[in-house]
Amino acid sequence: MPKAKPELKSGHVNLKMLAEHLQLSQTTISLVLNNSPSAKSIPQETRQRVLEAAERLNYRPNYFARSLRQSRSMSVGVLAPDLSEGYFTRVMSGVVEELTNARYFYFTACHDWRPELMEEYPRMLVERAVDGFLLLNTPAEIDVPVPVVAISAHGSEPNVTHIILDHRKAADLALRHLYELGHRRIAFMRGPKAIPDSEFRWEGIQQAAHSLDLLLDPSLVVSIDAGNSHSGSWSMKTGHHPMSPEIGYDPMKHLLQETKAFTAVFCFNDIAAIGAVRALTEAGLRVPTDVSLVGFDDIQSAAFYTPSLTTVRQPLNEMGKRGARLLLQRIADPEDSALLAEVVVEPELVVRESTGPAAV
């Protein structure tokens, strides 16, 4: 006569114990509890047994007790180009705070701007039954059956909320600051074409320059570009590596080989600005005595670099918090008509040591 299995106690059950109790494989139970698409091949009666046992035995209560009641996995997918210090870390700090408070788990995937990963990762995360997607500096052109919030992307896709910066105001703050310091020959470092913000920021720069009657000299425009070179700018292959100061160092070296007839530089971001300072210093130019420099983002190290960076601050932490909150709202009520398609946030100019009066 087989020995009877001891009755399991609520709250003291792991996956293996639950599987033995139900005489099912751990894989089967995992598929059912994660609401995986593959679970559809499991008989409805078996799925119901698993769900009832998990709830009765309080299996992983902080997670499944809520997900079973709400028919959600209590997890979201976060897609970003890279996980390097700078933009990502500031935005993600806000995301983590909000999701942790809401007891939501998150999967973070880095696509390195590789098209195959940008297509594959959303599919993989959908298979893991995420309730929604948060896209950081990543185009929102993904086909997923769940709510999406995109931070620093631009578009009008259905079922997507976009959180974007007022790039016209950002450019105006930076250029007006330099203009008032007497700078007229200003060099510009454009962002990679792949990054959604790049073209919008450049449009903002063109509009702000026009309003100030500033000439945009093509010979003073360099590009941090992951693609092909184009007329009037320099292109670099960034490969699949996280952003480092090299993205500003190499373009600035190239510009200095062509001309030194500028008194200020407006860089695409603070990481590029740090690299640009190095290149300027190696060329015997002092920042800001000979050349003033403005960055963008206000990353954590911007205030502690020498010289400390004057920069256009994006409220990155708050953008992360707001993005996570909006995504959770979309998940809770996808049909809520009050949810906005676009949220515009305001930039701020932070003046530090890297800008000064134009050299005579």
Which of 153-167, 239-253, 289-303, 322-336 reaches the highest mean pLDDT? 289-303
Mean pLDDT in residue range 172-198: 95
Mean pLDDT in residue range 162-177: 97
Structure confidence at residue 216 (pLDDT): 94
Residue 119 has, within 13 A of its CA and on its CB side, a CA count of 3
Mean pLDDT in residue range 274-295: 97
pLDDT digits (tens, 9 = 90+) for 121-143: 999 998 888 999 999 999 988 88
Q: Write down the mean pLDDT value for the chain.
A: 86
Cβ proximity of 272 and 139 under 8 Å:
no
Tell me the backbone φ, ψ of residue 293, rounded to 5 degrees: -145, 135
DSSP string, 290-350: T-EEEEEE--TTTTTSSSPPEEEE--HHHHHHHHHHHHHHHHH-TT-TTS-SEEEE--EEE
Looking at beta carbons, which pairs linking 287-292 to residues 24 or more positions away fall under 8 Å?
287/354, 288/353, 288/354, 288/355, 288/356, 289/356, 289/359, 290/263, 290/359, 291/262, 291/263, 291/264, 291/265, 291/359, 292/178, 292/181, 292/183, 292/263, 292/264, 292/265, 292/354, 292/355, 292/356, 292/358
Tell me the backbone φ, ψ of residue 314, rounded to 5 degrees: -90, 140
Structure confidence at residue 69 (pLDDT): 45
pLDDT digits (tens, 9 = 90+) for 67-113: 444 567 889 999 999 888 788 999 999 999 999 999 899 999 999 98
Residue 64 predicted with pLDDT over 80: no
Mean pLDDT in residue range 231-249: 58
